[in-house]
Amino acid sequence: MRFDPKYANLLFGTMLSGIMVSVVSAAVLLINQGLTPDFLSRWLKSFLSTWPIALPTVLVVAPRVRRLVNWLTRA
């Protein structure tokens, strides 16, 4: 499945925030509570409660970070 290039930033932000929230929420849950029998349900609850915060944050911050990185790495 291919997407129109005009959706590249939205797709990038959605994928990046989803991956980051998945990894970080699982790591924090493992560190704080260990691998419990209800780990998956707790992780899913954590993911679903934090991803709506992470997605708009990434969509707003990523373009600014890209500009800053471009500015910092100019020859």
Q: Is the pLDDT of residue 1 over 90?
A: no
Tokens of 28: 């924090």
pLDDT, tens digit, for every residue of 13-55? 999 999 999 999 999 999 999 999 999 999 999 999 999 999 9
46 contacts 25 by C-beta, under 8 angstroms: yes
